[in-house]
Amino acid sequence: MEESAISILRKLPENKKQADSFVRLVREGIEGGETDPLLAFKNIAMLETIFKKLKSDMIIRDVVLEEAEKYGQKTFETNGAKYTIKEVGVKYDFNRCGDTQWERLDASIKSLTDKRKERETFLKTITPDVEVYNDEGTKIEPPIKTSQTTVAITLK
């Protein structure tokens, strides 16, 4: 008989200590050759996708909020976790305020941001073997580039 999705979810770590232990065990299993590292990486990416979809699902969010509101408090603890009901993702649209001072500031910021991006594009072209000087005669150095090599994954 196939396990239900909820029964599988219940097998996952329930606190930080268990989560840390789980991560350690997975890492050791990958390092020790217990599984194909690429397969493990794919499974981790799939779990990430699943959990992101579950957390953003509007029906789940509504049911969770409804359950949380039964506690009658904004913050409460149950199931070994602290829960807080709060507003998130608050956004303001200032474009329709009719405030000319804000509109001038916004236009200045946009203009300066565009000029900075243009300058950054130029600075990226500088190489150590080419000498470039600014308007004041100071030598311009190329920007410091940092990166990290990783494996990108696209789930099918």
Per-residue pLDDT band for 73 (boundaries 50, 70, 90) equals: very high
How many angstroms separate the CA atoms of 109 and 115, rounded?
A: 10
Domain boundaries, the chain: 5-84, 100-140
Contact 15, 82 (CB under 8 A): no
What is the distance between the terminal CA atoms of the chain, rounded to a whole angstrom?
Answer: 26
pLDDT in tens, 86-129: 999 999 999 999 999 999 999 999 999 999 999 999 999 999 88
Written as six digits, the tokens of 140 are 């311009």
Q: Which helix (H) or strand (E) holds 83?
A: strand 81-84
Contact 119, 126 (CB under 8 A): no
